[in-house]
């Protein structure tokens, strides 16, 4: 990773919102964002110097269900293996606290499903589609 460091910490609200803007994802209300970031089971940030240029979170109940959430790498730093490193760190955490019968899920961004397959993720079959609901509009 050279000039990058991965640290076990949550991004600040400002860092997180800046990353979401950089990848053209809509941001939620800052107070809701702060609550969500505090509620993560585990978070990692990729730093270039002191600047956060990537992050990812594990959310869930800490035993039966885990979700990888908000794996983001700033567009200027994509294609350097940082997303894989974030995902591996999050999976290492899940495997250290989960056990037999634990489920790990995620919602991949458009065109990104193949990225997660080397980690063991599989697409849901057509007869068992995933579903979601955004409160107050799309996220």
Tokens 């978070």 identify what position? 43
Q: Rounded to 10 degrees, what is the CA torsion of 40, 46, 51, 55? A: -40
- When pLDDT is cut at 50, 70 and 90, the band that residue 1 belongs to is low
pLDDT score of 138 more than 90: no
pTM to 2 decimal places: 0.91
Give the tens place of pLDDT for each residue, 11-22.
999 999 999 999
The answer to whether the CB of 75 falls within 8 A of the CB of 81 is no
- Residue 111: per-residue pLDDT: 87
- Residue 109: per-residue pLDDT: 84
- Residue 89: per-residue pLDDT: 98
- Residue 2: per-residue pLDDT: 65
- Residue 134: per-residue pLDDT: 78
Of the options 3.30.2130.10, 3.30.390.10, 3.40.630.30, 1.10.1060.10, the CATH number for the domain spanning 4-119: 3.40.630.30
CB under 8 Å, gap of 24 or more: what pairs does 56-61 form? 56/86, 56/87, 56/89, 56/90, 57/10, 57/90, 58/90, 58/93, 58/94
Torsions phi, psi for 69 (to 5 deg): -135, 145
pLDDT score of 123 more than 70: yes
C-alpha closest to that of 57 among 31, 90, 24, 34: 90
Give the tens place of pLDDT for each residue, 55-110.
999 999 999 999 999 999 999 999 999 999 999 999 999 999 999 999 999 998 88
- Residue 128: per-residue pLDDT: 87
- Residue 139: per-residue pLDDT: 55
Domain ranges of the chain: 4-119
Give the tens place of pLDDT for each residue, 26-54.
999 999 999 999 999 999 999 999 999 99
Encode burial over 3-42: b for 16+ CB neighbours within 10 A, e otherwise: ebebeeebbebebbbbbbeeeeeeebeeeebeebbeebbb
- Residue 133: per-residue pLDDT: 76
């Amino acid at each position: 990773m050279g000039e990058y460091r991965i640290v076990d910490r949550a991004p600040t609200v400002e860092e997180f919102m800046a990353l979401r803007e950089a990848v053209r994802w809509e941001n939620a209300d800052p107070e809701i964002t702060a609550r969500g970031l505090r509620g993560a089971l585990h978070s990692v940030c990729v730093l270039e110097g002191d600047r956060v240029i990537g992050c990812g979170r594990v959310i869930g109940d800490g035993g039966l269900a885990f979700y990888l959430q908000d794996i983001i790498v700033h567009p200027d730093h994509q294609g350097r293996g940082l997303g894989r490193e974030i995902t591996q760190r999050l999976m290492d955490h899940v495997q250290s606290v989960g056990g037999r019968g634990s489920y790990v899920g995620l919602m991949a961004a458009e065109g990104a499903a193949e990225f997660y397959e080397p980690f063991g993720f599989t697409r849901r079959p057509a007869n068992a589609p995933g579903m979601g609901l955004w409160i107050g509009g799309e996220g």
